[in-house]
């Protein structure tokens, strides 16, 4: 049994789904890509049992073939071959021979029937459709704030909150929070679920930056993301998401408006001199100037910068994690950002000056207690 496929087409699709390869010593077949060919249609699968990915393309083939091929070795071979048709020959013992213009390469394969079954949508949850570019923007804007502490499993994923009036996408690690609300995305039934961080990271990296529709489905156990020739299936996090709305302050009389690029550049410089454990930077707000200070008393490092700004409120000195602020400002695409604050001990809000149509982006950051000679 054999099939013919072009190097670049196969490599592109395998790279798209390689994020789900397991490296699982308990179930070695999960180190493999599954090749499933029916009537010239090749379906490629990878899985770590929590996240599974499927891609498809057309090939030249007269047979039905199902074989699992070791992933890393196959990717290494394809990366080092020039653009050309490749002939894959699969023997009865599932060994695989690849013929190219350069030579012949033999790999061990396994029976594809032993590959774990990929979950299928049950149709219970309904579907939501969004343009790939818009969904990619949502994922990029929220991914950095997803928690990584396994002791708080609910926070280790992105919270999807669907409703008839719009949809919310929320991430938090208890120190910062990002919420994107989309009034142009509506779902007939109120529903919510948590998608693991790993799956969000994979989607963020492989979604095309165009208007390709992405269909989002879910059931009791899994979420399904369909982007035409590529699908991702992941097991949902079985936990209750915290009441994030309760921590968003509503009374914030102190408002700072400042150029995003200027503030981001200053923070990157000042944070070099801050304590490497706390990344603590201090904002001293008074009139039309923002003083930013970072210091590390242990090594006698210190940096101070002054930026022009618009500030309406009482004089205030407040501390933030500089690295967190850099992450937040990097994820915002706008000319001016606003900080809305109430006091040095309460969470502050970071908002873009202009919101995209149909979108409302809110970021929250917890302050840190100032220490040292600020």
Q: What percentage of residues in the chain have a pLDDT greater than 70?
A: 97
Rounded Cα gap, residues 189 and 216, in angstroms: 14
Contacts of 346 (CB under 8 A, 6+ apart): 249, 367
Q: What are phi and psi of 148, to 5 degrees?
A: -125, 5
Q: Residue 298's pLDDT is what?
A: 85
Q: How far is CA 356 from CA 51, 134, 162, in A?
A: 31, 10, 19
Q: What are phi and psi of 39, to 5 degrees?
A: 50, 55
| CATH architecture group of domain 2-114 | Roll (3.10)
* pTM for the full predicted model: 0.93
Q: Residue 2's pLDDT is what?
A: 94
Rounded Cα gap, residues 372 and 274, in angstroms: 11
Block residue for tokens 């600020």: 374
Within this chain, domains 2-114 and 127-246 share the same CATH topology: yes
β-pairing, 280-286 vs 213-218, is unpaired
Residue-wise pLDDT tens digits, 277-332: 999 999 999 989 999 999 998 888 999 999 999 999 999 999 999 999 999 999 99
Question: Which residues of the chain have a pLDDT value below 50?
Answer: none
Q: Residue 188's pLDDT is what?
A: 86
Q: What are phi and psi of 21, to 5 degrees?
A: -60, 140
CATH of domain 249-365: 3.10.150.10
Q: Residue 127's pLDDT is what?
A: 80
Q: Residue 124's pLDDT is what?
A: 62
**Domains in the chain: boundaries:** 2-114, 127-246, 249-365
Class of domain 127-246: alpha beta
């Amino acid at each position: 049994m054999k099939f013919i496929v072009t190097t670049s087409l196969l490599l592109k699709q395998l790279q798209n789904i390689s994020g789900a390869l397991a490296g699982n010593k308990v179930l070695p077949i999960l180190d493999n890509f599954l090749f499933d060919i029916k009537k010239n249609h090749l379906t490629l699968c990878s899985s770590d049992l929590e996240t599974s990915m499927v891609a498809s393309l057309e090939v030249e083939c007269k047979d039905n073939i199902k074989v699992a091929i070791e992933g890393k070795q196959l990717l290494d071979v394809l990366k080092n071959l020039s653009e050309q048709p490749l002939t894959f020959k699969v023997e009865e013992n599932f060994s695989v021979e690849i013929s190219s213009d350069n030579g012949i390469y033999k790999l061990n394969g396994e029976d594809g029937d032993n590959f774990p079954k990929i979950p299928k949508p049950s149709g219970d949850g309904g579907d939501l459709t969004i343009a790939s570019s818009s969904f990619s923007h949502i994922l990029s804007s929220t991914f950095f704030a997803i928690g990584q502490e396994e002791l708080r499993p609910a926070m280790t994923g992105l919270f999807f909150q669907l409703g008839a009036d719009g949809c919310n996408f929320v991430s938090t690690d208890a120190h910062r929070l990002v919420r994107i609300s989309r009034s142009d995305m509506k779902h007939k039934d109120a529903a919510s679920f948590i998608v693991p961080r790993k799956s969000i990271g994979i989607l963020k990296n492989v979604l095309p930056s165009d208007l390709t529709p992405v269909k989002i489905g879910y059931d009791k156990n899994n979420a399904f993301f369909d982007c035409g020739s590529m699908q991702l299936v992941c097991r949902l996090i079985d936990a209750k998401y915290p009441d994030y709305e309760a921590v968003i302050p509503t009374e914030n009389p102190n408002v700072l408006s400042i150029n995003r690029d200027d503030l981001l550049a200053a923070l990157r410089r000042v944070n070099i001199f801050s304590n490497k454990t706390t990344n603590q930077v201090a904002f001293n707000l008074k009139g039309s100037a923002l003083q930013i200070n970072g210091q590390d008393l242990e090594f006698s490092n210190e940096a101070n910068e002054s930026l022009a700004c618009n500030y309406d409120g009482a004089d205030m000195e407040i501390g933030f994690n500089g690295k967190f602020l850099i992450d937040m400002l990097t994820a915002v695409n706008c000319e001016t950002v606003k900080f809305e604050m109430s006091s040095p001990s309460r969470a502050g809000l970071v908002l873009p000056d202009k919101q995209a149509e149909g979108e409302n982006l809110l970021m929250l950051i917890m302050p840190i207690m100032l220490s040292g000679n600020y």
